[in-house]
Chain A
Amino acid sequence: DGGITQSPKYLFRKEGQNVTLSCEQNLNHDAMYWYRQDPGQGLRLIYYSQIVNDFQKGDIAEGYSVSREKKESFPLTVTSAQKNPTAFYLCATYREPGQGPQANYGYTFGSGTRLTVV
């Protein structure tokens, strides 16, 4: 089945450590996104990529970095510069409404990675 795989499901980071969250998709979608979700805050955009080898900062990019070397993969690195990294991280792809069945219009999300600083 086509979908988005995020790993790991749970991740613990020590102070001052960089960690990388994996996101892989086999939906053949061009656009990929990283969101962060905190309680009561909704989803906030960290980075997005419309095409391979190109990516743009979202609303809260500070302390994060990404790469898009392959269409299928969009890893997110949480650097030590991110002062409050504990959150639920969601990766998503985007499909234009009108392209095929209505299911999975808009964003399709991975199952998420819950990152905790210890």
Chain B
Amino acid sequence: GQNIDQPTEMTATEGAIVQINCTYQTSGFNGLFWYQQHAGEAPTFLSYNVLDGLEEKGRFSSFLSRSKGYSYLLLKELQMKDSASYLCAVRDLGAGSYQLTFGKGTKLSVIP
């Protein structure tokens, strides 16, 4: 099985930078995804990491360290619309099929 941990809630100020951490334990790691989910809506894809290092995409960046079982999502120049839940999900190859297991999500509140 897998264990994925991320903070439950975070608050940050508009225009600032925030880092959302995710730690995981898995036996057959095959990639890590970050999703954004606004209240009452479906999750939408933000980033994918399978190799160690930083992936940058506009205001959002995601980092992975496989040896440490650790990832973070970095949001720069925060905007009010970034208030949402951010889900860390780990893809695991086990029992002959791929599974994606989600953390419980981090609810980010951006304040003026």
Q: Say whether B43 faces chain A, with CB atoms less than 8 Å apart.
A: yes
Q: For chains A and B in complex, what number of residue pairs have CB atoms within 8 angstroms?
A: 56
Q: Which residues of A lie under 8 Å from residue B43 when comparing CB positions? A: 43, 90, 107, 109
Task: Let me know if A106 and B100 touch, CB within 8 A.
Answer: yes
Task: Let me know if A108 and B45 touch, CB within 8 A.
Answer: yes
Task: Let me know if A106 and B91 touch, CB within 8 A.
Answer: yes
Q: Which residues of B lie under 8 Å from residue A16 when comparing CB positions? A: none
CB contact under 8 A between A109 and B42, given known A41-B104, A43-B87, A56-B97: yes
Q: Say whether B33 faces chain A, with CB atoms less than 8 Å apart.
A: yes
Q: Which residues of A lie under 8 Å from residue B44 when comparing CB positions? A: 109
Q: Which residues of A lie under 8 Å from residue B105 when comparing CB positions? A: 42
Task: Let me know if A97 and B97 touch, CB within 8 A.
Answer: no
Q: Which residues of A lie under 8 Å from residue B103 when comparing CB positions? A: 42
Task: Let me know if B45 and A94 touch, CB within 8 A.
Answer: no
Task: Let me know if B97 and A50 touch, CB within 8 A.
Answer: yes
Q: Say whether B50 faces chain A, with CB atoms less than 8 Å apart.
A: yes
Q: List 8 A-B contacts (CB under 8 A).
A: A42-B104, A43-B87, A43-B102, A97-B31, A105-B33, A105-B45, A106-B33, A108-B45
On B, residues with C-beta under 8 Å from A are 8, 31, 33, 35, 40-45, 48, 50, 87, 89, 91, 97-105
On A, residues with C-beta under 8 Å from B are 31, 33, 35, 40-43, 45, 48, 50, 56, 88, 90, 94, 97, 102-112, 114
Extra 8 A-B pairs, beta carbons < 8 Å, given A56-B97, A104-B45, A105-B33: A31-B98, A35-B102, A43-B43, A106-B33, A106-B45, A106-B48, A107-B100, A114-B40
